[in-house]
């Protein structure tokens, strides 16, 4: 997949990952680039997040992005702050720009010093080009596949997105890095105004295991080289973000199935999002999906504790397009529905009958492999 006009990317293996796989990616912004940014709410946020917030508050254009994987550079004290700044400086030297115009990101194991000397030795080997493929691979940790998406707008502008995320995934945000690049001419103020709402409807509706990470961010960058209408632009942005969010959920650690929860008839969008997220994140429901068990009681229970306003006797729940609850138990063929749940995607459709708002959330089934992956993560 190729980047829009105004961007080039590349990656290398710097030796941060013991496996020797690619772990250092750079994106060059060929001119001053407008951007919008949302980061984790975790109070133990990594230096890259704290630095990113400061850059964002300064409201200056950017000229580059550097990401390392395999090491979160989090909970590493003052040395971690210095190492993050050095990461920016090394990328700036490579790109021939100023350090304060480079956004940094790190992802991986928490509490281990970042081997910044390895980065210094290898960053000069990166070859920049129009493809996003090598960068997408270099930012992965426990991901099993790259996550890319794109949309083209009338008039030729494009929106291209890349993300990583597999475990420690929960709203606000997740072990997730997500970056969207566009050449659409959208003012920086417009990006900043609308990007958080897109993130709330997409990336913050993904849950894998209920853990909110320390390093996460979602950003959009615009080179503003192609004229575009705001309406189609934001539709394309939301489509790319939604696609990446679904890819993250489907690649949850140990996952075999994507869970999609659609809620309609909610009092307002906030309630719809709460209800959808609660069901998608229910460990009991995730385990039931893994076992192909159409246990609607677990869905209803999650709705009940979600915080969304509704009356249980008015709600309707459908699973794989089969109604299983309508204000109370309704008869259904359990054997046939269990077989239908063996699909790659399990759809829960809920009508709260409390209003007009709707939302989606995405998760995955809870498997034995999730426990194995996380039991052995650092050993």
The string of pLDDT tens digits covering residues 72-83 is: 999 999 999 999
In this prediction, residue 42 carries a pLDDT of 85
End-to-end CA distance of the chain: 34
pLDDT, tens only, 201-235: 999 898 765 556 788 899 999 999 999 999 999 99
Contact 295, 288 (CB under 8 A): yes
Q: Name the CATH superfamily, with its identifier, for domain 258-375.
A: ArgJ beta chain, C-terminal domain (3.10.20.340)
Confidence of residue 254 (pLDDT cuts 50, 70, 90): low
Confidence of residue 170 (pLDDT cuts 50, 70, 90): very low
Task: Give the dihedral sign, CA 166/282/204/318.
Answer: positive
Q: What is the separation of C-alpha 218 from the centre of its chain, rounded to a whole number of angstroms? A: 7
Phi, psi for 337 (deg, rounded to 5):
-70, -35
Q: Would you tell me which CATH number, out of the four given (3.30.499.10, 3.90.1150.10, 3.30.70.1520, 3.60.70.12), belongs to the domain 7-250? A: 3.60.70.12
List residues with catalytic annotation: 175
Beta-strand pair 7-12/24-39: antiparallel
Residue ranges of the domains in the chain?
A: 7-250, 258-375
More confident residue, 116 or 207: 116
In this prediction, residue 244 carries a pLDDT of 96
Alpha carbons 359 and 91: distance in angstroms, whole number: 39
In this prediction, residue 43 carries a pLDDT of 87
Alpha carbons 314 and 320: distance in angstroms, whole number: 20
In this prediction, residue 249 carries a pLDDT of 86
7-250 and 258-375, same CATH topology: no
Phi, psi for 25 (deg, rounded to 5):
-125, 145
On average, the pLDDT of the chain sits at: 93
Alpha carbons 318 and 27: distance in angstroms, whole number: 44
Alpha carbons 73 and 81: distance in angstroms, whole number: 8
Mean predicted confidence (pLDDT) in 184-199: 96
Least trusted range by pLDDT, from 40-49, 95-104, 108-117, 305-314: 40-49
Mean predicted confidence (pLDDT) in 107-118: 95
């Amino acid at each position: 997949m190729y980047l829009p006009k105004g961007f080039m990317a590349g990656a290398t293996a710097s030796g941060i990952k013991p496996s020797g796989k690619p772990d250092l990616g750079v994106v060059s912004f060929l001119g001053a680039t407008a951007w919008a940014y949302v980061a984790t709410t975790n109070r133990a946020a990594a230096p890259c997040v704290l630095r990113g917030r400061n850059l964002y508050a300064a409201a200056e254009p950017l000229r580059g992005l550097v990401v390392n994987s395999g090491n979160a550079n989090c909970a590493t004290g003052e040395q971690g702050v210095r190492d993050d700044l050095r990461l920016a400086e090394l990328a700036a030297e490579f790109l021939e720009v100023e350090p304060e115009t480079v956004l940094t990101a790190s992802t991986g194991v928490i509490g281990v010093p970042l081997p910044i000397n390895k980065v210094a030795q290898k960053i000069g080997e990166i070859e920049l080009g129009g493809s996003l493929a090598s960068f997408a691979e270099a930012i992965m940790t426990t991901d099993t596949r790259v996550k890319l998406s794109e949309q083209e707008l009338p008039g030729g502008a494009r929106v291209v997105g890349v993300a990583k995320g597999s475990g420690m995934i929960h709203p606000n945000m997740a072990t997730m890095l997500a970056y969207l690049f566009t050449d659409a001419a959208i003012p920086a103020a417009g990006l900043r105004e609308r990007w958080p709402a897109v993130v709330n409807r997409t990336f913050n509706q993904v849950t894998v295991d209920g853990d909110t990470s320390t390093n996460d961010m979602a950003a959009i960058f615009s080179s503003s080289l192609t004229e575009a209408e705001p309406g189609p632009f934001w539709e394309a942005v939301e489509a790319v973000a939604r696609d990446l969010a679904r890819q993250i959920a489907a690649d949850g650690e140990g996952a075999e199935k994507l869970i999609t929860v659609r809620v309609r008839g909610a009092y307002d969008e906030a309630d719809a999002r709460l209800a959808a997220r609660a069901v998608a994140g229910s460990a009991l429901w995730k385990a039931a999906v893994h076992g192909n068990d159409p246990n609607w009681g677990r869905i209803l229970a999650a709705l009940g504790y979600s915080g969304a306003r509704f009356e249980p006797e008015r709600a309707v729940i459908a699973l794989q397009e089969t109604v299983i609850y309508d204000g109370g138990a309704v008869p259904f063929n359990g054997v046939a529905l269990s077989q239908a749940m063996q699909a790659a995607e399990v759809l829960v459709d809920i009508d709260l009958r409390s209003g007009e708002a709707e939302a989606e959330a995405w998760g995955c089934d809870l498997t034995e492999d999730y426990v194995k992956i996380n039991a052995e993560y650092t050993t």
